[in-house]
Structure 1
């Protein structure tokens, strides 16, 4: 069975899929066709149900039909996550963010939902995630919501970190992990038995990466965006952790909590059933 497998051109995703890509993990039942696109594009493709298995933002799951969440492959922050940055010379404060124009990396990203939960209403300007620091520096926006490795690599000589959403989430939820990215699989193309089989295979690819860290990071360096190997390794191991192997009850609870908060604040129009296989 051929599976279209969507993931992002980001180091942590590449690390997780290295077992598949290098042939270290495989199955006679599945032939994998890799589709590599940015996360908001994958979110939109999942809405159109174009892929059998794909990485999506946890937020995007609220709008999907006929997909279940795989237990492995989730990107959860552990008291860390997306960061709102602003130019140091502008004197931006947390209190002023509500009236600011903030660059966001996509409306369906989990980072955007978390910021809405934390701030309420603000003026958003959607743009590609890699252009956000440049837009902030040029004064096109008052602040920017940075994701991926930019969370730890933004120039602290030029930018101030105004709000760390991982810390905010931790304080609001009593220490639940920060739900950012998940992998979902189609119930239209696979039954529950086949879904579980693929889910278990994916976990093996994650474990292969963790068991072969140097080779996996070397592979992930093709998506380093100019960052040194030490930085990419640090970023990868922030988001490929024990909860990535299996989100378990805590991971599911974190996703449910995010959707419950969004429903209570009328960001989401209806309740969301979180189905993990």
Structure 2
């Protein structure tokens, strides 16, 4: 069966799909055509139902009634997640009044920050451009994701809010739900379970063969040093990535419960693949 699979040009996604896309983990059921796009572009393509399987922001799932969340391949922070940066320290009231550069309206980081501080003025841009935008004064502060969470000090910027820690403290230690993989409801439940297992095995292969999977992932390093990329991958490819388990599922449900209670999103039917 030929299927289109979207993932981001990020080292953690590349690490997850390494076994699948290099044939290290073969499949008799699927022939994969992979598509690489920035996460917000994948969110938009999912809205148009253009891909069979794709990485998306967890937040985007609120607007994807025709996709089901897979249990493997989620990006969850364990006590850490997006951060807010600025040139100098600002208190939370000042942050609320600032123009904040965000990596997209459908990103989970944007939803989490709204839950943390309420409504704010924002400007959308590519996530990798945010530190420079803050440094150059195009935005007052920036909401950063991916490896820019680790490299902001190189831009001579300060961390002023830790959104991941706020979520951890607020929810009693649930993992921070950031990214996930979804599969079109055009496929039956048996096929979804098979692909979920295929992705699970690909992630497991990467973790069992870290050096070769990291070498493959470095093609998406965006010029960042190998040690920083390895640290980033280890942060976001973890046990909850292999299988979200009860804690991962609870964190996703908690995110949408809080968002609907706050009036940010409308209540909807959340579809998550069942445990095998």
TM-score by length of 1: 0.97
The gaps in structure 1 that reach 5 residues or longer are none
Q: Distance in 2 between matches of 1:33 and 1:274?
A: 24
1:153 is displaced (CA, Å) by 1.2
Say whether the 8 Å CA contact 1:252–1:274 is kept in structure 2. Answer: no
SS of residue paired to 1:268: coil
SS of residue paired to 1:155: helix
Query: RMSD between aligned alpha carbons?
Result: 1.0
1:230 is displaced (CA, Å) by 1.0
1:161 to 143, 159, 162: 159
Equivalence for 1:54: 54
Matches within 5 A, 1:161-200: 161-188=159-186, 190-200=187-197
Say whether the 8 Å CA contact 1:3–1:30 is kept in structure 2. Answer: yes
Say whether the 8 Å CA contact 1:72–1:202 is kept in structure 2. Answer: yes
Q: Distance in 2 between matches of 1:72 and 1:157?
A: 34
Equivalence for 1:136: 134
Equivalence for 1:110: 108
- CA offsets, 1:228-267, max 9 Å, x none? 1111111001000001110011101000100010011100
Q: Is 2:245 the counterpart of 1:240?
A: no
How many residues are matched?
274
Equivalence for 2:70: 70
Matches within 5 A, 1:201-240: 201-240=198-237
Equivalence for 2:250: 253
Equivalence for 1:35: 35
1:29 is displaced (CA, Å) by 1.5
Consecutive aligned runs of 4 or more in structure 1 exceeding 3 Å deviation: none
1:156 is displaced (CA, Å) by 5.7
Say whether the 8 Å CA contact 2:67–2:185 is kept in structure 1. Answer: yes
Say whether the 8 Å CA contact 2:175–2:251 is kept in structure 1. Answer: yes
Q: Distance in 1 between matches of 2:193 and 2:155?
A: 48
Q: Distance in 1 between matches of 2:271 and 2:76?
A: 16
Q: Distance in 1 between matches of 2:22 and 2:44?
A: 28
TM-score by length of 2: 0.97
Q: Distance in 2 between matches of 1:80 and 1:184?
A: 23
SS of residue paired to 2:123: strand
Q: Mark the CA change 1:58 to 1:144 in structure 2 (over 3 Å): closer, same or farther.
A: same
The gaps in structure 2 that reach 5 residues or longer are none
